Structure 1
């Protein structure tokens, strides 16, 4: 991890599944050009996420299948310039994290597959200008699907798992 300290021109960090707790983020002054961080499938220590807000160029963050919960996600509050956030597989992320997500006003792409964010939580994000949302694989009744489509009319919606014919009818090509 000490090698990160000397890499001030790095734009992308892909440490997926590297058994990191995220302590390298403490060297944020050396990571000022980082735009994309993938630290998914790692036992990230929540307190290390506080350093992400010190990365002015950060646009994409993958925390997929990490051990974080709602309390840990609160450290992402200052990431208003983030454009892409992947929280797939994070079952401890619930509607309690929605206020944090709602303040990410630059967010365009959100992946919450296999999280515990509910229909109501998704609806509460309606003010974001999302172009893509990967949703939890809940069995959304037709009325809820119609509501999501109405709230996000220009957003590409996808689900974990397979999509049946009935669901496909709600997600016809965006015009």
Structure 2
């Protein structure tokens, strides 16, 4: 997975106006909703046909390839692209909420208005929508740090659940028919 700084630089170069976390959330939402992982993913995720395809081997292509591999990993190796532990709680929680905003928007684009969600998937998506609307607060303590870690783990598992409902499930059903 390319480091967040590399994705930030590539985003600035293309004048996308998105940070690395929100962009990764969008990519994950697109893929979890059943969107194709082709070179045109960036324009699809941002709903902008004017954005050209990503070049093979560039930062966005490596982000796509690593994310696809993580989502397909049977050992649940999926990780969110967020600032490292050295960043403040405010920055990390803000990035997580940005990640969720990107995810929810692109998931809707890929999955449509009536995605094939399990009951758990529907609840997980509703929780992600609430997180996408959240705003970080200054300060915080060890309790807040622990809460953020729990929320990150919840988001990670929720994404895998939604990916299973909307991408893996239909793919496997298609193979059986």
More strand by share: 1
Q: Normalising by structure 1, report the TM-score.
A: 0.25
Query: TM-score under structure 2 normalisation?
Result: 0.25
Give the greater-gyration-radius structure (CA): 1
The higher relative CO (CA closer than 8 Å, separation ≥ 6) is in 2
Structure with higher helix content:
2
